Amino acid sequence: MKWPLSQKMETSLLICIIHKCEQITMYCADHSQLCCCKCVELNHRLCVQVTPLPQAAGGKSTNFKNLSVSTENTLSQLKQCQTYQEDRIKSLKVSYKEHERLIVDGDARVNIVSYLRECETSTVNTTHKT
């Protein structure tokens, strides 16, 4: 609402520094850089976190406050996603190791059953002692 810069300044802020005739339409979180489509093509092809700026692309008056909020939201979503993926990988690794161990041990079912029996027996024994 209280944009301190003139319309001209605002427009020039949305123009790519390298490609003077290109408007900034993307934000690369990998480089923390605003970029135009040419920049993306040239320098950010392999970047994972390139997000389009809907406000800039629409050519409307850009509200940088909203922009930063939406960028933060995207970032926190990405972080959440990353944490989720890491957790998944961790649990996958654990279950893989478990399976691997059971396979190495031979007949997994028999082992589990005998293990459970052992547990049961020791629990019963402990209960009886105490």
- Where do contacts with Zn ion occur on this chain (CB under 5 A)? 16, 18-19, 22, 28, 30-31, 36, 38-39, 44, 47
Which of 45, 48, 14 is CA-nearest to residue 30? 48
11 contacts 17 by C-beta, under 8 angstroms:
no
Nearer to Zn ion among residue 52 and residue 116 (C-beta)? 52
What letter would DSSP give residue 62?
Answer: P
Nearer to Zn ion among residue 37 and residue 67 (C-beta)? 37
Nearer to Zn ion among residue 14 and residue 44 (C-beta)? 44
Burial of 92 (0-12, 13-18, 19+ CB in 10 A): exposed
- Report, in Å, the least distance between residue 71 CB and Zn ion: 14
- Report, in Å, the least distance between residue 111 CB and Zn ion: 51
Nearer to Zn ion among residue 51 and residue 70 (C-beta)? 51
The SS3 of residue 28 is strand
- Report, in Å, the least distance between residue 97 CB and Zn ion: 36
- Report, in Å, the least distance between residue 38 CB and Zn ion: 4
Helix or strand run (H / E) with residue 51: strand 50-52
Tokens of 47: 């970047």
